[in-house]
A and B are shown apart, each in its own frame.
Chain A
Amino acid sequence: MVSKTVTRSRLTNWALTGAAWLTGVVVAAPIIWTVMTSFKTERSAVSNPPTVVFRPVLDGYRKAFEDAKFTRAILNSGEITVVAVVMAVLIGYPIAYALTIRPIRRRAAVLFLLVTTRIMPIPAAIFPFFTIVRMVDLFDSPVPLMWIYGAANAPLAVWMLRSYLRDIPSEVVDAAAVDGARPVQVSLRIVTPMVIPSIAAVSVLIAVFAWIEFFIAVSLTAYDAVTLPAFLAGFISGKGLYIGQLSAVSVITIIPIVTLGFVVQKPLMRGFANAVR
């Protein structure tokens, strides 16, 4: 795996590089192919054999945006995602801080409580959600989705932020405390600025989860508050035949998180690696 030794021949190196590239392309093929299809005309999108060389057109995108429900879904998803991320981080950061920088009593109990939030299968929680949302007359409103995504992803924020906060040497915190800084000052002036990039990485991860959530969205919305994944579910039954348009819609659902995801790939990786160390 490491090519520093001389024992490995050049040929093996070439083969391994080729294998890596081939695997990468094969793995990403569905995405690449969907992007290509999104620029085809409906006719060439379903041609058999598939067209590989074609003149790109924007028909699919144009038709996708003509659908008012689709543009609404984009706005809803964006809005819900942003609020959920802000909520999850605002809730999760103080907890992660209290569990890591200033370890509190009964940490284990708090952590255990947080783990238990993840074992309920969503369909089992959906009916209570549905009942409550109906009761308070918030069906088809974005508010319950913001609330649920924010609260349900906060434990993830805690877990990830803990793994970053652990990287901060306790000497830094202690030194500030010795200098007479109050805990709140230590937190806001010293520790928090150090983990801003990590908070960004966590935010992206939560944004991904909020952006892709399907089941709760499809159960609690109908038209006004419909999110992109819920919109897609309706799309498949209604317009399954318009492959070009469908691919354009798919590409649009992918672009925001793929872009964000690449920006923070490295800190994300470090966070996960730290979490297991």
Chain B
Amino acid sequence: MTLMAGHRHDIEHGGEGYRRSRRKAGAADRDGSKFRLPAVAWIGLAFILVTTHVPIVMTLSYSLVRWNLQRPELSKKFVGVENFRNALKLDTFYKSLGATLEMTFGTLVIILVVGLGMALLINRPFRGRAVVRTLMFAPFLVPPTTSALMWKTTMLDPGHGLVNWIGGLHTDWLAKYPMGVIVAITAWQWAAFTMLILYAGLQNEDLSVKEAARCDGAGVFRVFRHVTLPHLMPHFEVPLVLGTVFVSQLLDPIFMLTQGGPGSKTTTAAYQIYQLAFEASNIGLGSAYAIIVVALYALVMLLLVAAMRIYRRRGGGG
């Protein structure tokens, strides 16, 4: 999201004492300002890049090498793209991509719908609003490991779990719907985040437009559809982008609850990479796999950004 935010806002403090319009931002970006990045910032930037990019380069180099810790008799050796070819041949590769999509998409749909619903519910004055907002936001502050543990042992346990008791059921949720449980737990946390962002967006809404629409005879739903929703559209960006990034890479609930199983039902790409590197000790293959996944992530993010740009240009949203 920094990418998108960056392009739109860079110029607001042009240094010339006025704010340029958003439209001109792109052009002014290129002729730039006379300032250079100060030394402190340079050091910090270098520090970040070394920490986050050196591993990427290392992974890239590992991916071109035959390197399996369990088979020391095969010495480390440069093998070109062989690891990539092998990764693409694996059945599990496509399965893990499918599982990742399932987890990410399922979670995103739920958090956007539920998050919006919760934001709308608290976007009107009532007794105890602050308490309700706090209750709704709380799940986001629970560590994902704790969240997985909590849900497994106190909520979904087939014997003494609260869900079965309230529903009068005897379901072993985790065994029956492993991916469903992971999606539900993840969505539980990220819906809270989405709620907060969308609520902030709703608070910014220009009420006079809404009143005007209502005076023109538009009903509650039409006002929502034609006034509130378009206003809210850019606010979906943050949960959508952040959610995609974080959820698709999430390992905690899988690690804590299913270990990728049963079978490979909950083996996402991230978990598969972990297994290849740490359990199968096949560093070369795991790294090649990781590089492919990173490339796919980058592609998805670019498409997302492009879609938002197009949406904006067509006059939607802010």
Interface positions of A (Cβ within 8 A of B)? 1-3, 5, 13, 16-17, 19-21, 23-25, 27-31, 33-34, 37, 45-50, 90-92, 94-95, 97-108, 110-129, 131, 147-148, 151-152, 154-155, 158-159, 162-163, 166, 168, 170-171, 173-174, 208, 211-212, 214-215, 218-219, 228-229, 232-233, 235-236, 240, 243, 246-247, 250, 253-254, 257-258, 261-262, 265, 268-270, 272-273, 275-277
Contacts and interface: CB of A to CB of B under 8 A. Distances in A.
Interface stretch (B75-83, B101-109, B116-124, B175-183): B116-124
Given A20-B126, A28-B135, A103-B13, A127 B159 contact: no
A228 B143 CA distance: 10
Nearest to A19: B121
Interface residues of B, number: 127
A219 B142 CA distance: 21
B10 A270 contact: no
B291 to A, nearest CB: 7
13 contacts: A13-B126, A16-B126, A20-B129, A24-B132, A33-B162, A119-B297, A121-B293, A123-B274, A151-B51, A162-B5, A214-B252, A247-B153, A247-B154
Given A124-B293, A125-B56, A273-B201, A31 B139 contact: yes
Given A1-B224, A166-B9, A23 B136 contact: yes
Interface in B1-26: 1-3, 5-7, 9-15, 17-19
A95 B141 contact: no
B127 A273 contact: no
A27 B58 contact: no
Contacts of A111: 2-3, 6, 10
Contacts of A98: 35, 37-38, 41
Contact of B45 (A113, A212, A261): A113
A196 B139 CA distance: 27
Given A27-B139, A29-B162, A258-B142, 16 more contacts: A16-B121, A23-B117, A33-B155, A46-B159, A111-B10, A119-B297, A119-B301, A122-B270, A123-B290, A125-B52, A152-B48, A154-B48, A218-B255, A243-B160, A261-B137, A265-B137
- Which 5 pairs of residues, A with B, have the shortest CB-CB distance? A124-B290, A91-B44, A273-B200, A151-B51, A212-B143
Q: Does more than half of chain A's interface fall in helix, strand or loop, or is it mixed?
A: helix
B13 A92 contact: no
B314 interface: no
Contact of A27 (B192, B271, B273): B192
Interface of B: 1-3, 5-7, 9-15, 17-19, 29, 32-38, 40-41, 44-45, 47-56, 58-59, 62, 117-118, 120-129, 131-147, 149-155, 159-160, 162, 165, 188, 191-192, 196-197, 199-204, 207, 210, 214, 220, 224, 228, 234-235, 237-238, 245, 248-249, 251-252, 255-256, 269-271, 273-274, 277-278, 283, 286-287, 290-291, 293-294, 297-298, 301, 318
A112 to B, nearest CB: 6
Query: B interface, by DSSP: helix, strand, loop or mixed?
Result: helix
B106 to A, nearest CB: 18
Contacts of B238: 272, 275-276
A234 B19 CA distance: 54
A240 B174 CA distance: 15
A173 B13 contact: yes
Nearest to A87: B47
Contact of B298 (A50, A119, A123, A218): A119
Contacts of A159: 1-2, 5
Contacts of A148: 51
A48 B165 contact: yes
B182 to A, nearest CB: 14
Contact of A1 (B15, B160, B228): B228
A14 to B, nearest CB: 9
A28 B138 contact: yes
Contacts of A100: 12-13
A52 to B, nearest CB: 10
Contact of B138 (A37, A258, A268): A258
Contact of B48 (A99, A114, A275): A114
Contact of B136 (A24, A48, A127, A208): A24
Contacts of A235: 149
Contacts of A128: 54-55, 58-59, 62
B7 A108 contact: yes
Contact of B270 (A121, A228, A246): A121
Contacts of B152: 236
